A and B are shown apart, each in its own frame.
Chain A
Amino acid sequence: MLREDISILVVDDVNSIRVHVKELLRVCGFRKIVTASSGEEAKALLETQPFQLILCDWHMEPTNGLELLRYVRNHPQFCGIAFILVTAENTRDRILDAVAAGVDDYVVKPLTQGQIQNKVYSVLLKRKVLT
């Protein structure tokens, strides 16, 4: 797929962060970016359209990022979607939980333009989504 055809779902309960991440992705050349303010909204959106990548915050209520990751990985239809956690959570135990749950990559905030470019491209290439 070309990057402008790749659909990305950004999940964060803080609006200013959603707007910021969306802007960073647009600068990278991605055009199909959908945002969700909660894990519940993300699950509903997953049912309505295909996504190739989810960029998700960790701490949200009532479904947190790790729970959303587990939901995606255990879902027969969504389990192949690339998943990057974007969070300020850098405690060892939590990170090991995310790795065990099958996260593709993990970005500790602050997320920069360079970081998003490297991480998103690398995950999409590894998953053979990006050509």
Chain B
Amino acid sequence: MTSSASRHSQIQEFIDELSGFAATAENTLSTIESDLEAHKGLFSVFAERMFAIRGTAQQLSLPHIAEIAGFGEEIAIKGSVAQTRPQLRKCVGSLWDALTTVKYLLVHYTEETSEEQKILINRMQVTLQALGGKRPTMSEDEIADILKARSSS
């Protein structure tokens, strides 16, 4: 970004766009909650919306939003393969927390991470760990190594 004014306007546009994503995520979560087993396939829709929010928040240097959306994405992916009703309930509970916080932060994006958000992040970390943890990821350097290895092979 070239100035704080243009950054602000870009963030405003982002918030308008992502508020729509958050609304879709909220409807999806309500549907899942209405019948956990029957609608568990919809967790992937929720994960997609959280991914979209995470990616855009990362791009616009809003790491506190990206972090919570990232937890929402990972927990939703665990929800889509959860085997038991208590696991499904745990996922839905965590996802409501994540979604509510993301929606709040989209409006109050300049606020520092509060004590309440830190507790929420910790709770989501514990939930995610209990469900098997995050999917393995790769760093920029590891990706570069793989691309280099492919070029030289």
Query: Chain A interface (Cβ within 8 Å of chain B)?
Result: 13-17, 19-20, 23, 57, 59, 61, 87-93, 95-96, 99, 103, 105-106, 108-111, 126
Contact = CB atoms under 8 A, between A and B. Distances in A.
B5 interface: no
B140 A59 contact: no
A99 B17 contact: no
A16 B138 contact: no
Given A20-B10, A106-B143, A87 B55 contact: yes
B60 interface: yes
Contacts, number: 77
Interface of B: 1-2, 10, 13-14, 17-18, 48, 51-52, 54-56, 58-61, 66, 135-140, 143, 146-147, 150-151
A20 B136 CA distance: 29
Contacts of B151: 126
Nearest to A104: B147
A106 B147 contact: yes
Given A88-B58, A111-B59, A95 B143 contact: yes
Contact of B59 (A13, A20, A61, A106): A20
Contact of A109 (B58, B137, B143, B150): B58
Given A15-B17, A92-B136, A59 B55 contact: yes
Q: Which 5 A-B pairs have the closest CB atoms?
A: A88-B55, A16-B14, A109-B58, A92-B136, A90-B137
Given A14-B14, A15-B13, A16-B14, A108 B59 contact: no
Contacts of A90: 137-139, 143
Contacts of B10: 16, 19-20
Given A19-B10, A92-B137, A95-B143, A14 B52 contact: yes
A105 to B, nearest CB: 6
Contacts of B51: 59, 88-89
A95 B150 CA distance: 13
B150 A99 contact: yes
Given A16-B10, A92-B136, A59 B48 contact: yes
B59 A92 contact: no
